[in-house]
Amino acid sequence: MSLPSRNWVNEAENSNTFEDGTCQIQGCITQDEQKHFFSLQLNEFALTLNILQKDRHQVQYFEEWLGACSINYSMEQTLPYTKTEEQVSHYLWFNPQVSIADMFRYLKNLPINIDKVQIKEPRLNWYIQEAI
């Protein structure tokens, strides 16, 4: 298997910056003649990578660069290029300057039940256990 193009940002089909300062890039990466959907969002709290569940092994390239993600979860979503719902995996890396309490508040605002989230950040996991 060959490595994905290092110029994956060039393969972005859509890039937006919103009023709240969130930057979003989305598109498809071509690897071994197959297209793989991706979406990246960056805001003051976290970097979020969204990829199809079937492509979840691709997260290793990001974890080699950023370290292990703080949390991840999967949910059904309708993607921009398809009319059907797909299982999408979401991986978040929190900004190191974000407090554990702010991570928890951010997590509570996600569109998924906190019980469905895999938490890899030990301090956040402890905080959640204490808060519940």
Backbone torsion region of residue 124, taken as left when φ is above 0, otherwise alpha when ψ lies between -120 and 50, otherwise beta: alpha
Within a domain: residue 3?
A: no
Q: What is the pLDDT of residues 95-109, one digit of tens each?
A: 999 999 999 999 999
Within a domain: residue 2?
A: no
The structure's pTM equals 0.81
The least confident of 25-29, 37-41, 63-67, 89-93 is: 25-29
The least confident of 24-28, 64-68, 84-88, 111-115 is: 24-28
Residue 42 has pLDDT above 60, yes or no: yes
- Measured CA to CA, the distance from residue 23 to residue 33 in angstroms comes to 28
In which band, very low, low, confident or very high, does the pLDDT at 131 lie, cut at 50, 70 and 90?
A: confident
Within a domain: residue 56?
A: yes
User: What does the pLDDT read at residue 14?
Assistant: 60
User: What does the pLDDT read at residue 10?
Assistant: 44
- Compute CA distances 17 → 21, 26, 41, whole Å: 6, 12, 9
Within a domain: residue 20?
A: yes
* Count of the separate structural domains present in the chain: 1
Range of the domain at 26: 8-131
Within a domain: residue 1?
A: no
Within a domain: residue 33?
A: yes
Residue 39 has pLDDT above 60, yes or no: yes
User: What does the pLDDT read at residue 5?
Assistant: 38
- Measured CA to CA, the distance from residue 30 to residue 34 in angstroms comes to 5
The mean pLDDT value for 14-28 works out to 77
In which band, very low, low, confident or very high, does the pLDDT at 51 lie, cut at 50, 70 and 90?
A: very high
User: What does the pLDDT read at residue 35?
Assistant: 80
